[in-house]
Amino acid sequence: MRLITLNYCPMACSFCSSTNFLHEAQGTTARIARLDAAQCLEMLERIVAIHPDTRTVIFQDDIFVFTRDERILPLCEQILAAKARGELPRSLEFISTNRIDAMSAERLSAMRQAGFRVLGFGIENFSQPVLREFNKKQIHRHIEPALSTALRFGITPFLDLILTSPHSTLADLGENVRQALRWLAAGCEVGIYPYVIPFSGAAIARDRSLDSQTVYETVRIPGTHLRWRQATKILPGDPQTQDAILRIEESFSRESRRFAERVAHVPSRVRSILWLQAAHEVLTRAGETVPSPDAILARLGPMLPRSARLTPPRKRSPFHAARRLASLIASA
C-alpha cells in the first residue's frame, strides 16, 4: 500500500520540477501540509483494517523525514505501541524516501525498530561540485555516516544516482561509478540514470545557457495530428564526458535489449550491474581507474541467492555473467 502524508517537496533541487507544481497552480508560494504522527497512525490502522493482508506500507512522500523533524520519533513510538496492542501486525514493514542529512543514529535505530526496512535517498551524485550544481551541496558530508549507520542497523538504503550533470567532468563520472560500486557491494540498492532529464518546470530545464546541450525529440499522439518538440535529455557540456555517457548509454541499451528477450523484469541491482559494466568499458579506455566487471561480480556474488552466485568470466564478454544471472532469474 502507498500512503502520501506530504503535499509537496520544498527542497528546490535544480533538476526536479515537483517543488514548483503548487506554486504555479496557485500563483503564490504553497504552504507545507503534512499529516502529524497521530494522523499517520490512524491512516495505517485504517489501511490494515480494510486490507488485513497488507505486508508493506510505502510512504510515497518525496521526503518523509525532514532535518528538523518533530514527527518521526513519536511516530515510531506509536507504531511500536500499536503493534504491542495488536492494532497493527507485528510483521508490518515500511519503506520511505528521506533526506540523507536528516538521518541520525537515533532516528535510524527508531525507524528500524518500528519496521522500516528500506530507506530511499536522493544522493544523485557523489561529486561535491555536481551536488553544488544540483543545489544539494549540504548533503555531501552526511552520505558516508548515514549509509554506514543504516546498513549497520539492518536497513537497506536505496540510492538514486544521476551519473552526469550539465557541468560534470570525466573525473566526476569516474568517482560516481566507483562509489556506486562501493555502496552496491556494501548492501545498498542503486537506481542509475545517465544524465539529467529536463522536466518541465525544473530550474535546470529553464536555463537557456544549456540549450546547446539539450536533446529534443518530436512527440506524436497516435491517431491524431498533434505533435510537439520535447526536451528529453541534458548532456554534459564537456565533449569527452558527453561522448563517454552516450557510449555508456548505448552499451547499456544494447545489453538491456538482450535481457528483455529472456526476462520479464530485470531487478534494480542487475540493471545497476549493467550500467557499471558499461561504464567500466568506456571509462577505462578514457584513462579513468574504475573497478573491472570481474571485481563487480566478485563483490556482488555473496549478496545473490546461492543458486545464482556467479564466477567472474575469463576471456568472455564482460556481460557474460550478467546474462547468466538473467537466465537464472527467468527460470526461477
Which domains, and CATH codes, for the chain? 2-237 (3.20.20.70), 238-332 (no CATH)
CA–CA separation, 256 and 266 (whole Å): 9
Look up residue 23 and give its three cell numbers: 506554486
User: Residue 119 corresponds to which amino acid?
Assistant: L
Q: What is the mean pLDDT of residues 195-210?
A: 88
Strand order in the sheet with 189-193: 2-3, 56-59, 93-98, 116-124, 156-162, 189-193
Per-residue model confidence as pLDDT tens digits over 38-95: 999 999 999 999 999 999 999 999 899 999 999 999 999 999 999 999 999 999 999 9
Residue 307's pLDDT band (boundaries 50, 70, 90)? very low
* Residue of 296, 125, 266 whose CA lies nearest to 195: 125
User: Residue 42 corresponds to which amino acid?
Assistant: E
Look up residue 24 and give its three cell numbers: 504555479
Per-residue model confidence as pLDDT tens digits over 104-124: 999 999 999 999 999 999 999
pTM more than 0.95: no
CA–CA separation, 307 and 328 (whole Å): 8
Residue 308 has pLDDT above 50, yes or no: no
Q: What is the torsional sign of CA 178, 180, 185, 186?
A: positive
* Residue of 193, 126, 131, 191 whose CA lies nearest to 157: 191
Q: Name the average pLDDT for the chain.
A: 87
Contact 262, 253 (CB under 8 A): no
How many other C-beta atoms can be found within 10 angstroms of the C-beta atom of residue 35?
A: 19
